[in-house]
Amino acid sequence: MKHIDIINACTDLGVHVNGAKFGPLELTKNLEHSSINNIITLQYDDEIVKEREKDNKKKNLDEVNKFNGKLYSMVLESLENGNFPITLGGDHSLAIASALASIKKHENMGIIWFDAHGDFNTFDTTISGNIHGLPLAVIANYEKRELANFHNGNFYNPKNAVIVGGRDIDDPLEIENLREAGVTVFSTKDVQDEGADVITRKAFEIASNGTNGVHVSFDIDMIDPKIAPGVSIPAKDGIDLDEAYSMVETIIKNKKVVKSIDLVEYNPTLDIDKKTKVIALNILNKFLNNF
Ligand SMILES: [Mn+2]
């Protein structure tokens, strides 16, 4: 049954490294699957010159908001049509739009953030000024001032927000943000010690507790960069491929509660021998085969 909408969110406005904007089209250019209803592409205006200066704490703020406002409408429309949206990135700032569109539709949701990074900075605590370091804080209503101006619905309760695979979280300020908000963090070491399936099941228990569903945001940089080098901000000593695929299987086992998915941060310009592309396509196809 054709019911999955793939939304290509071709952006790298949220990070000073270029190239993630080419990820979605690289993944979908020859993609065919009986589950796909539609493949929709959103690109930003090529005239925009991205800000790369280290000292700007709000890089590309207006352009990120403009892009996300359009993306939010596209994801919401897919949900309103009764379809299942998979948003392909692109840098992780796009999840502000996709996750908030999903909670706009479903009103009360949890979120699982598979990521090497916390993405829980605010404009006060960010070191880089890259907006892809803030989305989970925005979604969880910890930093919403300027980055969710297109959204008039609920936010995610941090008590139903879980990070899986974290290992590169800014010390001490971002860690303090997460602790103060009450977000659960399962580190890469937790995954290695307890097993990917166990940790992912725990994440679903927390995210689905008292909610109408779960948004899954899967950042490919959670995987070790030796295995998946095509990402903008690699963090060493990541999880291995068996663990990543085990997480995907557990996501699929919980598909009744999963309402929407992101697959983000694949950067073709930094990939080596298409290693990361193959992994991203494997994960995408597992979702297409099972949702
Ligand atoms: Mn991320």
pLDDT digits (tens, 9 = 90+) for 133-166: 999 999 999 997 899 999 999 999 999 999 999 9
Computed on alpha carbons and rounded to an integer, the radius of gyration of the chain in Å comes to: 17
Mean pLDDT of 272-280: 98
Give the amino acid at 179: R
Mean pLDDT of 161-172: 97
CB 143 within 8 A of CB 126: no
What is the percent of the chain where pLDDT is above 90? 94
CB 20 within 8 A of CB 12: yes
Distance 291 CA to ligand 1 centre (A): 23
- The DSSP 8-state label assigned to residue 94 in this structure reads G
Distance 126 CA to ligand 1 centre (A): 14
Q: How far apart are CA 93 and CA 98, in angstroms?
A: 10
* Residue 56: band (very low, low, confident or very high) from pLDDT cuts 50, 70, 90: confident
N- to C-terminal Cα distance for the chain? 10
Tell whether the model's pLDDT for residue 18 goes beyond 80.
yes
Distance 283 CA to ligand 1 centre (A): 17
More confident residue, 216 or 1: 216
Tokens encoding 198: 């166990």
**Predicted pLDDT at 284:** 98
Distance 121 CA to ligand 1 centre (A): 11
**Predicted pLDDT at 55:** 67
Tokens encoding 184: 């659960």
Distance 219 CA to ligand 1 centre (A): 5
pTM attached to this predicted model? 0.98
What pairing do the DSSP bridges indicate for beta strands 110-114 and 161-166?
A: parallel
Distance 17 CA to ligand 1 centre (A): 14
Q: How far apart are CA 187 and CA 166, in angstroms?
A: 4
Domain extents in the chain: 4-290
Q: What mean pLDDT value characterizes the chain?
A: 96
CB atoms within 10 A of CB 141: 15
Task: Name every residue whose Cβ is closer than 8 Å to that of residue 8 and which is 6 or more positions away in sequence.
Answer: 24, 25, 28, 39, 40, 41, 42, 88, 90
Domain 4-290: CATH superfamily is Ureohydrolase domain (3.40.800.10)
* Residue 224: band (very low, low, confident or very high) from pLDDT cuts 50, 70, 90: very high
Half-sphere exposure of 67 toward its Cβ, with a 13 Å CA cutoff?
A: 30
**Predicted pLDDT at 45:** 85
Mean pLDDT of 115-144: 96
**Predicted pLDDT at 51:** 77
Distance 40 CA to ligand 1 centre (A): 22
Distance 1 CA to ligand 1 centre (A): 31
Distance 148 CA to ligand 1 centre (A): 17
Tell whether the model's pLDDT for residue 53 goes beyond 80.
no
Mean pLDDT of 102-127: 97
Q: How far apart are CA 9 and CA 74, in angstroms?
A: 10
What pairing do the DSSP bridges indicate for beta strands 84-89 and 36-43?
A: unpaired
**Predicted pLDDT at 46:** 78
